[in-house]
Every structure is written in C-alpha cells, then in structure tokens.
Amino acid sequence: MAKAKRKKTMKTPPIVSPKEWEAARQQLLVKEKALTRARDALAAERRRMPWLPVKKKYEFDGPKGKASLLDLFEGRRQLILYRAFFEPGVKGWPEHACVGCSMVADQVAHVAHLDTRDTTLAFASRAPQTDIERVKARMGWQMPWYTITDNFDKDFGVDEWHGTNAFIRAGDSVFRTYFINNRGDEQMGNTWNYLDITALGRQEEWEDSPEGYPQTPTYEWWIWHDEPNTMDEDRPGLVQLRAARAYSKGGDAT
C-alpha cells in the first residue's frame, strides 16, 4: 500500500510590528523604484530601435472582408498585432482558442485608451472569421481580430508560437518597430505596457524620446472609454490636470 504523501509545512516570513513592517516595505520600495526607472529607460531604448520596412503585401480576412496590413491600422499611426492561436489543431478548437492566448485576451484593457494615443490593437489567427466572431461573443472579447491568409505569421516569427509585433506607418509605408514573445507576452494587456513597446511610447512630456516625437502633458489625453470622442478641451484627464495645477498654486480648482 502506497504511503500517503506528507504535506510540507509552509515556511512563512516573520510576524512583525507595524513599525517593522513599514521599514521592510520602505526597504523594498527602493528596489521597486529602481525597477520602474530601469523599465522607463528600457522603453526609451525601444523608441530608438531602428525601423524595418515591410515591403511585402499581406492580406487578412476581417469582419468587413479582405484587409491589408495597412488596413489593420484603422487609420491610426501605430499598430500592435498579437498572434493568437485559434485554429484547427490547437487544443480547445473549435470552442476555445489556446488557453494561454485566451488568458492574454482576457487581460486586454479597453482599446479606446490606445486609440486615443493613435494606436490600434488587433489580434490575428488562422481561424475563419465565423469562428472568430463566435468565440469573441462567447468570451466577451472586443478587440479587432483578423484571419491570417498568407505567410504573415511565418515571416514575423509567430507561426509556431504566440508573439506581439509593433508597427508604425508613414503615409502608406509600414515599418516593423518591435517584437516581443515568450514570457515577454505575460505582461501585455494593460494600456501602459502596450504603449511602452511602441515606437512612440506613451507620448507624454516626461518621457525620454527622440526630438520631434509627439508628446502631451501627463493625464491630458485620458478619457472615459464610453465617451471616446470628447473634445480635447473637455477631456476628463485634461480637466483633472487643470484642477491639480490650480490646487498646487493655491487657486480655485473648480
């Protein structure tokens, strides 16, 4: 008869007083702030990455029919394209996409905030559009999702594994600016991390960006996602920024 597996005792940290706990937190905070500064510096390096021209013409299927890579920008300046595995041969098909890709999709923040920074987020798989629309409805996903119909996935390193490519356009010319995959994709989903892998970044004045890059004051571009077309002067983030500045100067914040 097999012996029962003995459960290991969890070795927990020490129990301390409020003062000791705060001291430990402050000690760790020094490292956390250093990590934040290092992350900002790394994002600044990404904004200086060389651009790779995309000369080949790629074609996708979308909700409105055939679409080029340029069409996926939806008129915006930047495109972030995640290659999700939802297709025959992938575990979960046809009811579900790959479980990891589904977790990524579940984490995606409301795309209206990326739209405000002139950036489009989209997903792409090899599943037909009818299946994509069905699984999106089932899972409550809202991001644009296209069908790969050619060698795009192979050409951009996402034919065998998921990954996120970032692009920018100048007129009708498209350039690849960054690529992240493997554990790098774990952090994706929130607006800030998406912007940090783009060529233009968050486009805020505090960022270390090359000369001439578009930048606005922090908070100014923030919106409520259900009111994406708010006029610039009435953006809630700008109103909040004005109030904060007035308060710091001792003025009327109303």
pLDDT of residue 247: 66
149 CB-contact burial (10 Å; exposed 0-12 / middle 13-18 / buried 19+): middle
Dist CA 232 CA 222 (whole Å): 10
The residues, any chain, with a CB within 8 Å of residue 240's CB and separated by 6 or more, are 219, 222
Question: Quick one: which of 162, 164, 126, 165 has its CA closest to 147?
Answer: 126
∠ CA(247), CA(250), CA(252), 5° rounding? 65
CA 239, 241, 243, 245 dihedral sign is: negative
Q: What is the reported pTM?
A: 0.88
pLDDT one digit per residue (tens) for the chain, 254 residues = 556 677 889 999 999 999 999 999 999 999 999 999 999 999 999 999 999 999 999 999 999 999 999 999 999 999 999 999 999 999 999 999 999 999 999 999 999 999 999 999 999 999 999 999 999 999 999 999 999 999 999 999 999 999 999 999 999 999 999 999 988 888 899 999 999 999 999 999 999 999 999 999 988 888 888 876 766 666 676 666 667 666 666 654 43
Reported in sequence order, the residue ranges of the chain that DSSP labels E, i.e. its strands, are 52-53, 59-62, 65-68, 78-83, 119-125, 145-148, 163-170, 173-181
- CATH 3.40.30.10 domain range(s) in the chain: 52-196
Q: Are 219 and 207 contacting, i.e. CB atoms less than 8 angstroms apart?
A: no
CATH class of 52-196: alpha beta
Dist CA 205 CA 65 (whole Å): 39
219 CB-contact burial (10 Å; exposed 0-12 / middle 13-18 / buried 19+): middle
One-letter amino acid identity for 198?
T
Question: Quick one: which of 166, 140, 152, 210 has its CA closest to 76?
Answer: 166
Dist CA 191 CA 112 (whole Å): 10
